[in-house]
Structure 1
Amino acid sequence: MSNEMNQQPRKRGPMGRMGRGMQPGEKPKDLKKSIKQLAQYIGKYKIAIFIVMICAACSTVFNVAGPKILGKATTVLSEGLMEKIRGTGSIDFARIGTILLFVLGLYLMSALFSFIQGWIMTGVTQKVCYQLRKEISEKINRMPMKYFESRTYGEVLSRITNDVDTLGQGLNQSITTIITSVATLIGVLIMMLSISPLMTLIALVILPISMGLIGLVTKKSQKFFRAQQEYLGHINGQVEEVYGGHLVIKAFNREKDTIEEFEKTNNILYDSAWKSQFLSGMMQPIMMFVGNLGYACVALTGGLLAIKNVITIGDIQAFIQYVKNFTQPIQQIAQVINMVQSMSAASERVFEFLNEEEEDQTTENPADIETVTGAVTFDHVQFGYNPDQIIIHDFCAKVKPGQKIAIVGPTGAGKTTMVKLLMRYYDVNSGAILLDDHNIRDFNRRELRDAFGMVLQDTWLFKGSIMENIRYGRLDATDEEVIAAAKAARAHHFIQTLPGGYQMELNEDASNVSQGQKQLLTIARAILADNKILILDEATSSVDTRTEIEIQKAMDNLMKGRTSFVIAHRLSTIRDADLILVMKDGDIIEQGNHEELLAKNGFYANLYNSQFEDIVA
């Protein structure tokens, strides 16, 4: 496509990418807003979340009750040993066995409720992720062209893949962990108080120490999680860009520069990733150290109380288990906090994308596109991708239905920009574009674009059969109609020579057919679509002269009775145009048919003759 396609100014980063990456140390812009929006999605599954909470509570009750009951078995065993030593009795193994079977039943019930809780929560998480991906996919179709022309594909894809996956994993683990951990803390605290308030007080001393250390680590790690998620998107964009243009990179020997640029971005990602993961990994050893201090204090106090016959040996065993169970949920909450930070950073990027500006898809009382005949009027059109940088100054032209209009001019004159305005990829700054005396703003965007068929210089084919790629122009077309369109585009012959013919599978970038063949397939697709207005932007630039003549014949038949806009650099292909608009610096400087413009001996004549100077020489 012509260079004016890229005239919109961009903030460029390494290798031409959008330079909007977050600097290491930047915090989330609006964390509370992201969490609130995420809560709205989760709120749709209130009943499921409530069941999860019930299951978590039941699982916790059964799990927390186990150590104290198991401690009774230890007490029975220790008392039996003492009686056996004194010769006054023996160990009651039957009672111990009953207690152990009962405890086993408790743990099995706990595991069952835990399984149900995890199964339900996984379903909720996947539904939320599915909904987010669906909304992102739908959002893409409602967003203006300027968004995608100022960002790399990889950055957009990162929102759908990495960010949604990170959000899903964090959501699945964080909610269940928080519910279980809080329930366990409460349950364990109650059981500890029932055994010994004094030992419980000693165990609770470790809490402020733990929370203080957790808060310190969290504050340090939060900024690095955001940077890690942001630069992961930049890495994806860079890899996608390099992979797509690896032939050009090799042709210009830019491998070294490409690697250097990648390493710069990768170093920032590495720096933020290892710092966030290192700080996250510090949670466990810190909590273990604090927990061990608690064990030592509890063991010492418990031993003294047991000597004084205030508590039993089984109570000490149970209490030590509770201390472990008390510090474990604190560790889990600490880990979840890090996970929530990463999840929040990902959700912020997802919702930031979903909150981007959208095109107006519908219009009140829209004009009927079905009655359009193809008359187009450009009425003093003025446009600039930035309001302070006008590139189309005063474009005026009147096109009758069925006319073939050629738009010519040097690179950067604004030819493709006019096509974008006609399709309402952008709206004019002032003036108007009329379609059958209706301002194009009076049509719904989707209906307006249904009236146009496009064949661009940059071909686009997807992974699938040749039949499916041509049928993309009209999905309800029969095989016979697809073949007829291929014949009209002079593509039928080469398709038959391919292995599999129309059922041959094109690979991801359609590199298993030539550039000229790809162009023929896109032309066949446009023929099949049978739109009222055609736009051909350098449609024959990728084919040889003989094939170009064949395509031109097919195009002449296709354009009969249809308004056609042809952008061409090879002026020999538009000599039969009804009207030629000669553009320079965003304005029409000449217009007329081929003979009239040659007779003027002006800019067009010089442009046309310059293409044959070498031949004449």
Structure 2
Amino acid sequence: MPAEKPLDMRGTVGRLIGDMREHRLALLVSIVLGIGSVVLVVLGPKLLGNATNLVFGAVLGRDLPAGVSREETIEALRAAGETTRADMLAQVPFTPGEGLDTQALMTTLAWVLAVYVGSSLLSWLQSRIIAIVVQQTMYRLRRDVSAKLGRLPLSYFDSTSRGDVLSRVTNDIDNLSQSLSQTLAQLVTSVFTVVGVLFMMFLISPVLAAVALVAVPLSAVVTAMIAKRSQPQFIKQWRTTGDLNGHIEEMYTGHALVKAYGQSASAQETFDRRNEDLYGSSFRAQFISGTIQPAMGIIGNLTYVVIAVLGGLRVASGTMSLGDVQAFIQYSRQFTQPITQIASMMNMLQSGTASAERVYALLDAAEQEPDPVAEAVTDVRGRVEFDDVSFSYEADRPLIEHLSLVAEPGQTVAIVGPTGAGKTTLVNLIMRFYEIQGGTISLDGVDTSAMTREDLRSKIGMVLQDAWLFEGTIAQNICYPLQTSATGEVTPQMREQMLRAAEATHVDAIVRSLPQGYDTVLSDEGTSLSQGERQLLTIARAFVADPPILILDEATSSVDTRTEVLVQKAMNALREGRTSFVIAHRLSTITGADVIVVMEEGRIVEQGSHTALLEAGGAYARLYESQFAAPAV
């Protein structure tokens, strides 16, 4: 997949380096280890060439007269007209009249073994240090992201898709971790390998080194030409993959509707067409990109042939030793590999930097205003007052303007109105999920903005229309407000409170019908239960907290009529002594409320009891008649 490009690569890389600043000593040690490993690797072919020269010199010199020195033998050969043989012997060590010096050969091979073992050990130590540095850096980054999510306002999550947030927290950090792990150590090693190998090649033979360097721009041109043709195909491949996956997800998510409307054949036809598109684009992308390796192989083999021929001629002419040619061929093989690795790592590093940029964008997002330093409010009676409150999600689109409302302790305040009137916004402001732009909201005379959010929310129990359950037992889900440890252990005292709340909300009978009762494990947000049963559990969870204030946002919308009557009776009993805010579209559920507030376009247009509002014949009466007094057709 083509790597996503970062918007500010230099700034993001600089910030990454800053995050690893405390590991600078470890990084410095890893660089030194990498250089040491490269130096040893580069020495290997030269030492092997020396071993070859020992064997080659023994073969050439064993038939020569013994008892004379190496220099005298070479001069004698030149005087006898054997100049080529003399030049060849001048490039290698030998003792006239003697065979192979086994001890010298074994010593050289022992050095070769020590060099390669030492290089591997240094490389292993470098990789271990880099792994420790990267994982500790990612540990801190995950910790910072987790803490950041707790400081972000609800408006951030409302304006950002859940999938995008999850992708930043999981996929992007994982991609960054993988990119750093695979590039930090390898990039240093590859760069110094290129430098070291190039130095040794010029040291052995500048002429052959120049020949080897010609292959570098040629390889780059060929790779660029092939990549230019393959990139559009890769883009098309991933686009068609997304189309196919999207179609599969739609068809399997709506499988029942596809069957009900007889569209199976049409869905299969669409799948076949998109699958065929994916096959074609994938084949072209893989085939074109797959030619890079054979092309590089051809260029490498041609270079190898040229170097081998020129090296052979230079050996025959006595200007190079056979061991040097052998070492040079090995260096030429080592030279192209790190260049390819660097190109691949730059692509990976670019992808990792793009992921880091997305994570840093999350860390730099505007946070909610810090809590004031305040003592916890105790002995809460439950008087909630809105005094000239104004609020809008967007500055140019006002929603709530100059709203005033008082909920006395123990009162049930029902909030009704058409969709978009601001009902849920009103209770979100009580919870301080959003900060108001004007006026005040007070709890027992204390401005809620002067309270800490944790203290304020500990006084409020909230049940939303969407029933959220986590993976765990039913007991753990109901006792969630009481949990004091991360293990989710349910103590006997907590279980006693849970049973009282479960019986009052008619959850007990449902739970006891399950095989494991309250120890039944819920998974996948409790999909093994019906929507109504999940909602009853959330109601029990709110009641087990025993808060002085209750907020019920369409809390009975998914409960059947019979259960709704039971829950209403339970809520009437449990609301004794509590201030309750009930948002409802089904007006039959709030006819017994102490105060009914009718909202339209962010304003309170009516408030009063059910009977009084019906007699007034206003907005509430129209809503009520639309639900219960529609003419029969």
> So what's the TM-score if we normalise by structure 2?
0.82
Return closer, same or farther for 1:232/1:394 CA change in 2, 3 Å cut-off. Answer: farther
Q: CA deviation at 1:499?
A: 0.9
Cα distance in 1, alignment partners of residues 236 and 141 from structure 2: 22
Residue 26 of structure 2 aligns to a residue whose secondary structure is helix
Q: CA deviation at 1:408?
A: 1.2
Cα distance in 1, alignment partners of residues 247 and 232 from structure 2: 23
Is 1:69 aligned to residue 47 of structure 2?
yes
Cα distance in 1, alignment partners of residues 247 and 599 from structure 2: 36
Q: Deviations over 1:112-145 (max 9, x none)?
A: 2222222222232233333333333332222232
Return closer, same or farther for 1:196/1:50 CA change in 2, 3 Å cut-off. Answer: same
AA matched with 2:189: T
Match of 2:516 among 478, 496, 500: 500
Is 1:423 aligned to residue 431 of structure 2?
yes
Return closer, same or farther for 1:67/1:350 CA change in 2, 3 Å cut-off. Answer: same
Structure 1 contact 154–234 (Cα < 8 Å) conserved? no
Q: Deviations over 1:177-233 (max 9, x none)?
A: 111112222322333343234433443444555567778889999999999999999
Cα distance in 2, alignment partners of residues 445 and 116 from structure 1: 49
Q: Which moved more, 1:121-130 or 1:466-475?
A: 121-130
Q: Which residue in 1 is equivalent to 2:607?
A: 591
Q: Which residue in 2 is equivalent to 1:9?
A: none
Match of 1:487 among 484, 503, 528: 503
Residue 551 of structure 2 aligns to a residue whose secondary structure is strand
Cα distance in 2, alignment partners of residues 526 and 306 from structure 1: 89
Is 1:455 aligned to residue 468 of structure 2?
no
Alignment of 1:212-361 (within 5 A): 284=293, 287-360=296-369
Quote the sequence identity (%): 44
Residue 473 of structure 1 aligns to a residue whose secondary structure is helix
**Corresponding residue pairs, total:** 594
Return closer, same or farther for 1:56/1:286 CA change in 2, 3 Å cut-off. Answer: farther
Cα distance in 2, alignment partners of residues 385 and 151 from structure 1: 14
Root-mean-square deviation (Å)? 4.0
Is 1:39 aligned to residue 17 of structure 2?
yes
Cα distance in 1, alignment partners of residues 117 and 464 from structure 2: 65
AA matched with 1:101: A
Structure 1 contact 287–331 (Cα < 8 Å) conserved? no
AA matched with 1:106: V
AA matched with 2:431: M
Match of 1:409 among 405, 408, 417: 417
Q: CA deviation at 1:508?
A: 0.7
Q: Which moved more, 1:382-391 or 1:72-81?
A: 382-391
Stretches of structure 1 lacking an aligned partner (at least 5 in a row): 1-23
Match of 1:539 among 555, 570, 594: 555
Match of 1:373 among 371, 381, 388: 381
Q: Which residue in 1 is equivalent to 2:396?
A: 388
Q: CA deviation at 1:536?
A: 0.3
Q: Which residue in 2 is equivalent to 1:100?
A: 109
Cα distance in 1, alignment partners of residues 339 and 202 from structure 2: 18
Q: Deviations over 1:351-386 (max 9, x none)?
A: 2222222222x2333464446432222223333322
Q: Which moved more, 1:69-78 or 1:180-189?
A: 180-189
Cα distance in 1, alignment partners of residues 607 and 258 from structure 2: 41
Q: Which residue in 2 is equivalent to 1:120?
A: 129
Residue 611 of structure 1 aligns to a residue whose secondary structure is helix
Residue 512 of structure 1 aligns to a residue whose secondary structure is coil
Q: CA deviation at 1:337?
A: 1.2
Cα distance in 2, alignment partners of residues 74 and 530 from structure 1: 87
Cα distance in 1, alignment partners of residues 258 and 151 from structure 2: 34
Cα distance in 1, alignment partners of residues 169 and 192 from structure 2: 34
Residue 403 of structure 2 aligns to a residue whose secondary structure is strand
AA matched with 1:196: S
Return closer, same or farther for 1:473/1:368 CA change in 2, 3 Å cut-off. Answer: closer
Return closer, same or farther for 1:175/1:554 CA change in 2, 3 Å cut-off. Answer: same
Residue 482 of structure 2 aligns to a residue whose secondary structure is coil
Cα distance in 2, alignment partners of residues 511 and 350 from structure 1: 32
Cα distance in 2, alignment partners of residues 445 and 431 from structure 1: 18
> So what's the TM-score if we normalise by structure 1?
0.84
Q: Which moved more, 1:346-355 or 1:64-73?
A: 346-355
Cα distance in 2, alignment partners of residues 443 and 55 from structure 1: 55
Q: Deviations over 1:551-572 (max 9, x none)?
A: 2222123222221101112223
AA matched with 2:462: M
Q: CA deviation at 1:469?
A: 0.8
Q: Deviations over 1:515-568 (max 9, x none)?
A: 221111111110112222210011112112222222222212322222110111
Q: Which residue in 2 is equivalent to 1:566?
A: 582
Q: Deviations over 1:270-324 (max 9, x none)?
A: 9999999889867655654554454344334433332332321001101111122
Q: CA deviation at 1:60?
A: 1.5
Structure 2 contact 3–348 (Cα < 8 Å) conserved? no
Q: Deviations over 1:54-104 (max 9, x none)?
A: 221222222111111111111111122223566944333443333223212
Cα distance in 1, alignment partners of residues 264 and 301 from structure 2: 54
Return closer, same or farther for 1:357/1:270 CA change in 2, 3 Å cut-off. Answer: farther
Is 1:510 aligned to residue 526 of structure 2?
yes
Q: Deviations over 1:135-190 (max 9, x none)?
A: 33332222232333334332222223322222111111111111111222232233
Q: CA deviation at 1:440?
A: 2.9
Return closer, same or farther for 1:76/1:339 CA change in 2, 3 Å cut-off. Answer: same
Alignment of 1:546-565 (within 5 A): 546-565=562-581
Match of 1:81 among 48, 59, 62: 59
Larger Rg, first or second structure (1 or 2): 2
Is 1:179 aligned to residue 188 of structure 2?
yes
Cα distance in 1, alignment partners of residues 600 and 34 from structure 2: 71
Return closer, same or farther for 1:461/1:574 CA change in 2, 3 Å cut-off. Answer: same
Q: CA deviation at 1:466?
A: 0.4
